[in-house]
């Protein structure tokens, strides 16, 4: 998990994290038929990044009704304000996972969970590898950034290279 500011957390996804989520859903929801499990696979598989991609689940860590009333309207469209900033200065804005956009994106209020994807060119993958990478939110009501830690950087680079 990567914390950006006081209320945002990102979980970068890969084949293993998605497999664990599917297994957890199957256990919690007591899914037993092939059709039930296939539905979960159809939901989660698009979040597995292809080579050259980074995928993440963004969580707004709001724990009280007051926080939700304050932040969810204030952060409308925050999912369109998340960037990876590479060592060469490249700024790659995340895109919203199409499958989830309709249910999670609204004009007047945001959701507490969003699924994002960053598509990198081969040159950007090399810039990612060459040095520091920052995860940045440039929303007018939430300007925060954090440098990815070494372990996260290395894992994402492995995923990017396939």
Structural domain count, the chain: 1
Query: Read out DSSP for 36-103?
Result: HHHHHHHHHGGGSPPTTEEEEEEEE---SHHHHHHHHHHTTTGGGSEEEE-TTS-EEE-EE-HHHHHH
Q: pLDDT, tens digit, for every residue of 128-141? A: 999 999 999 999 99
Q: Considering the domain boundaries, does residue 59 fall inside one?
A: yes
Domain with 98 in it: what CATH number? Answer: 2.60.40
Return the pLDDT at 38.
82
Per-residue pLDDT band for 125 (boundaries 50, 70, 90) equals very high
Question: Cα separation of 70 and 76, whole Å?
Answer: 11
With a pLDDT cut of 70, the percent of the chain lying above it is 93
Is there a domain that residue 36 lies in?
no
pTM of the model: 0.86
pLDDT at 6: 96
Domain that holds residue 74: 2-13+49-161
């Amino acid at each position: 998990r990567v914390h950006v500011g006081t209320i945002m957390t990102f979980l970068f996804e890969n084949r293993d994290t998605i497999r664990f989520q599917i297994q957890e859903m199957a256990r919690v929801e007591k899914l037993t038929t092939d059709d039930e499990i296939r539905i979960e696979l159809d939901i989660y598989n698009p979040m597995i990044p292809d080579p050259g991609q980074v995928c993440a689940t963004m969580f707004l860590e709001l724990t009280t009704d007051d926080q939700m009333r304050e932040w969810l309207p204030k952060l409308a469209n925050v999912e369109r304000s998340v960037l990876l900033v590479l060592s060469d200065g490249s700024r790659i804005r995340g895109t919203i996972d199409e499958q989830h956009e309709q249910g999670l994106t609204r004009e007047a209020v945001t959701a507490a969970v969003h699924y994002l994807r960053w598509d990198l060119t081969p040159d950007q993958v090399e810039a990612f590898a060459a040095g520091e990478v920052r995860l940045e939110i440039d929303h007018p009501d939430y300007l925060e950034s954090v440098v990815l830690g070494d372990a996260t950087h290395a894992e994402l680079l492995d995923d990017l290279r396939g």
